Amino acid sequence: MPFETPSLPVLINRTQADLASDSLRRSDAQVLSRALSGAAYGLYGYLNWLADQILPDKADEETLERIAALRLNQPRNAAQPAEGSVIFSAAAGAVLDVDVVLQAGDGRMYRVTTGVTTAAGTNTTTIEAVDAGALGNADAGLALTLVQPVPGITNAFTVIAPGLAGGIAKESVESLRARVIRSYRVIPHGGSADDYETWALEFPGVTRAWCRGGYMGPGTVGLFVMRDNDPEPVPNPTQLLEIKSYIEPLRPVTAELYVLAPTEKSVHYSIHPVPDTSAVRAAIAASLIDLHEREAGLGDKLLISHIREAISGAAGETDHSLTVPAADVIAASNELLTFGGITWL
């Protein structure tokens, strides 16, 4: 049976009872009993904390990272800075050193990663965000200026296509916890479908993965991945190649691996809620988004009965009329059903 920590008053009463006697009732026993009980209560609390650290479902952040380092091939994914290229104008022979800092109008800071001795006119170099994370990502055309002037270089830098990308936030505690718990539940089998998904989830930025054996014929493996925390969650060809390069040394030699991006299939809804209030609308939208996250995996069918159930379960909803979709939503084997918004009737 589970152990229950005695409350502080119970411990005080126990100690008082042990110390109480006719000769001690008016002595320092009362003070002593409270001091000893307080110490015991702290020890019980420490034992409770230790018990929580044994398994990853309740371990605190520091202990969870230690468990991850022992159990996972890829421990907690660190934050990564966004990087890309910029163009600027300069006189011939000017020197732009590595680590020169550029600043955007909104305060974001970037540093030069490739030193350049300039030619007259337009020059190109590479930069990365000073602070790692998704906030460093930026579209092409972002204007940057030098924090400190550099002789011979015009103080106007412009981000060029495809922009600044690759910035990833540090893996959240709950994401790491889910990976550690998965390592207990999913036992490696030397190349099973679960193994491929595990390898994909080890790669920084990958949040979901689906393995399909024989996808391109006998001996082939199709591995679909998503990066839900990126500004564009569907991975681009460069990211797919990086993920494949990570998995190649780990996979069985007889398998031919294809790392692919799912095709998003947007599901739009037409709903008349009762009562029709902003709070009910927000609750229905949140419930449908949660339904997609739980049941709309790669190639999965979204059942119309489950859609109606999700709407009916929204807080404050008493009735509704669902016009679109009118039947189960079917996805092809490479399609991912995504929430496409709601038209309110």
Domain that holds residue 205: 186-260
Rounded Cα distance, 316 and 237, in Å? 44
Whether residue 102 is found in the same domain as residue 133: yes
- Domain end position, chosen among 260, 287, 321: 260
The mean predicted confidence, pLDDT, of the chain is 89
Tens digits of residue pLDDT in 224-272: 999 987 778 899 999 999 999 999 999 998 889 999 999 999 999 999 9
**Which residues, in sequence order, are CB contacts of 218 under 8 Å at separation 6+?**
none
In tens, the pLDDT along 118-149 reads 999 999 999 999 999 888 888 899 999 999 99
Same domain, 269 and 308: yes
Phi and psi, residue 177, nearest 5°: -60, -40
Asked if residue 37 has pLDDT above 50, the reply is: yes
């099973």: which residue's tokens? 192
pLDDT average, residue stretch 64-73:
91
Sheet with 335-344, side-by-side order of all strands = 319-324, 263-274, 335-344
User: For residue 23, is pLDDT > 80?
Assistant: no
Q: 64 and 14, same structural domain?
A: yes
CATH number of domain containing 206:
3.30.300.30
Helix (H) / strand (E) element for 109: namely strand 109-112
Does residue 338 share a domain with residue 267? yes
- What pLDDT is recorded for position 187? 83
List of residues 6+ apart from 56 with CB closer than 8 A: 64, 67, 177, 180, 181, 184
The residue length of the chain stands at: 345
Same structural domain, 155 and 214: no
Q: Is the pTM of the predicted complex or chain greater than 0.85?
A: no
Rg over alpha carbons for the chain, rounded to the nearest Å, is 29
Please give the Cα distance from 297 to 215 (Å, whole number).
17
Q: What is the rounded average pLDDT of the residues 151-164?
A: 92
